[in-house]
Structure 1
């Protein structure tokens, strides 16, 4: 048995073997492959060493393949087909996909985008399931360790192996109970009120809250909750205020009144975020495309709801 390292086999050697077997001539094989006869002879010597067989023997003025060479040529054709399949991106068919996509999002992004996304996915891929987990403060490790395939967040982790694309941008608005108070008359009235906000685990306030604090705008926070769903219960029936993404008017905070800020504040970008390993994955690329497609639909539906369909 040959002790030659089989890893020295490559597609060129396999093609060479097939050409010589089929042509029964080193000269014709060299012409077919576009190389010199000496190159064919040299590579045949290498292949003989690997497989431990003469492969070809003289027959009259020509050569003939050994039984081993004929058998190996059959295997070589199958191997080359596998190599071609390995190097070719297969056509992606959503209808045949059986998969569960895990997406990390907070309650705001979840309610705004994911029900619509799921309906769109299932319309062309009935075998797809969706698992939604909390994004909190998203980390690169969430994606590196495959806790999820996609994150929706205004806070992309800063890492060279994490990719992002902006989905939309929202404005912040002040939410209040219209039965208990009106919108703040100005900055002084705004700062005099008690405020409710979101603080994720670990203790990290919304970017908006951190930005205002850095500008010296200090508010009296009397309640912090771990997600947007906890806000209405602490604002409803009180004079407290909550300053949050305006699109929450069409979802979790639909029964509260809202008003613009009495000062110039930052806007809220929203990104989809994924790991570099998925950049060329057909199924993941399809998922990202479908998510992008539902964003204008979701925003248009939100705008229509706010204007009463007018």
Structure 2
């Protein structure tokens, strides 16, 4: 961590907090041009700031990579401490008032493909109407998402009801169920009985399995195995939207959460039916760190997410 008390006085004089803001942006984006755009700065100004940071920390910090810059071990070691320091300063110096209509704050939401489809379209409409100058930066879910939430890099995380770290606050947004889908002229569409196919008909065509974090089986496969049955999976992929496009152009069957399905079915000419195997579904939750519990802007964001999620 950054230990201010052990830094020489001449280094402290050079430690402009604005430089740390630049360092955080480059660490987050790994691209000087993108960081400059994010900070409303010119690229040369960001490059000059990096030069000053190299002098302060006596390290190269970043080297050129194929698609941006690569952080040195020293820069990586600084990342968490800088993020926490700047977040704490925001809490100390920032106003506890938040005006959606005038704020230009950029909120950072980490989520998966599912959360992006199920929650963000309605949330974007709220921002357009109530916070037209504010923005949403969506971060892909990764192995360090929970750590970044704890450090204040992420305002909220949208995630399933799987176990999460104890230091994160949480609330269940809704409970989700599953539906199965095929293209409108699929042979199975004419063999539905009260909105549900016979299990043999359901298992005859190939299937698509959407697995956000990888894996060759799902709850559906576990339930089928308990019945002594199985399905043939033709494709495994981590993207719901891509799976819907593929289902619209093939005889593949797609079984996905209902909220995602409601957004994807009509645009891609898919029809839904009840899966002939009972599935439990899952709860979907919003997570945030206690440090942002009383932050006015974060509180407003969480309320909007709860509102749009429970209105569907």
Please give the TM-score of this superposition, normalised by the length of structure 1. Answer: 0.59
Q: Secondary structure at the match of 1:174?
A: strand
Deviation per residue, 1:262-304 (Å, 9 max, x gap): 122112321111122222222111110111112244x1xxxxx
CA RMSD of aligned residues (A): 3.1
Q: Is 207-216 or 248-257 further displaced after alignment?
A: 207-216
2:100 to 94, 105, 120: 94
Deviation per residue, 1:150-188 (Å, 9 max, x gap): 122214542111122111122201111231222563223
Where does residue 11 of structure 2 map in the other structure?
Answer: none
Q: Superposed, which structure 2 residues align to 1:5-16 within 5 Å?
A: none
Q: How many residues align?
A: 213
Please give the TM-score of this superposition, normalised by the length of structure 2. Answer: 0.59
Where does residue 124 of structure 1 map in the other structure?
Answer: 130
Unaligned runs of 5+ in 1: 1-85, 300-310
Larger Rg: 1
Matched, 1:259 2:273: yes
Where does residue 241 of structure 1 map in the other structure?
Answer: 253
Deviation per residue, 1:87-123 (Å, 9 max, x gap): xx84443344331111123334323322321332343
**Shift in alpha-carbon separation, 1:209–1:134, aligned structure 2, 3 A:** farther
Which 4+ residue blocks in structure 1 deviate beyond 6 angstroms?
none
- Distance in 2 (CA, whole Å) between partners of 1:204 and 1:244 is 15
Unaligned runs of 5+ in 2: 1-91
Where does residue 110 of structure 2 map in the other structure?
Answer: 104
1:289 to 297, 303, 307: 303
1:163 to 160, 169, 186: 169
Where does residue 148 of structure 1 map in the other structure?
Answer: 154
1:229 to 241, 244, 249: 241
2:197 to 167, 185, 207: 185
